[in-house]
Amino acid sequence: MDVLLDIWLRMTTPHTGLEPIVAWRTVAAAAVIVLFPPVWRLARHAVTIVHEGGHGVVALLCGRRLGGIRLHSDTSGLTVSRGRPSGPGMIFTLLAGYPAAALLGLGAAWLLSLGYDVGLLWVLLVLLALLLVQIRNWFGLWSVAVTGAAVFGVSWFGSPQVQGIFALLVTVFLLLGSLRTSLELQQSRSRRAGSSSDADQLARLTHIPGIVWVVVFVVVQVGCLAFSARLLGFIQI
């Protein structure tokens, strides 16, 4: 009981914001992670976790039966759900993947704007725990477990400043990383005909060109990025 009370107090006690210079350096570090290919290849697994989790959550909300999630070492993933192979439920399930990290980043920015950086980390831990029970392969289990261990370590052992820096780093990484995956998606589509990507599956279901769906992904991601920047005080509108 004391441990649960301690966790609750950590989650609900707001922290003061980071100094501007520290915040901007954290943003720059997140940008380097996303833009520097050797680091991005490793960090991209975190975006894939959120991407597949987005598919899974929306599938359940649409009344589909979630069959499991697989995460692969090449940063790809697969979410299996059962239900009608067409119709709104399938469309929304496919639509959810690419914007998921940006939408999570927007929610994270909102919590950070209120000072709940530790609360954000524990929310992420709960989401990872819920996802873990749906993973159906060893690499996926390892990937989610390692990510959860890193988040837990910072949330439990980190100083308030370390927690704030890490929470902001994760938030900005999700926002920028989500956008990069959509740009990579279009590059992949332009090189390969007959793709089975989310955008191309949406095109086959809706008869709306795949490029339109990629634009939808990017518009949502840019919107989340701009709104998050305003919430966190990086831009003034």
Check if the beta carbon of residue 44 is closer than 8 Å to that of residue 75: yes
Residue 13 counted as domain residue: no
Q: Residue 14 falls within a domain, yes or no?
A: no
SS3 196: coil
pLDDT at 176 over 60: yes
Contact 189, 200 (CB under 8 A): yes
Please compute the mean of the pLDDT values over residues 67-86 and round it to a whole number.
Answer: 93
Whether 6 is covered by a domain: the verdict is no
Residue 141 lies in a domain: yes
Q: What percent of the chain has pLDDT over 90?
A: 85
Q: What is the mean pLDDT of residues 43-53?
A: 97
Domain of residue 86 covers 21-231
Q: How many domains does the chain have?
A: 1
Q: What is the reported pLDDT for 74?
A: 94
How far apart, in whole angstroms, are the C-alpha atoms of residue 118 and residue 50?
Answer: 19
Give the CA-trace dihedral at 75, 78, 79, 82, to 10 degrees: 180
Q: What is the pTM of this model?
A: 0.94
Q: Is 3 contained in some domain? A: no
**237 has pLDDT over 60:** no
Domain assignment present for residue 236? The answer is no
One-letter amino acid identity for 131? L
Mean pLDDT of 52-62: 96
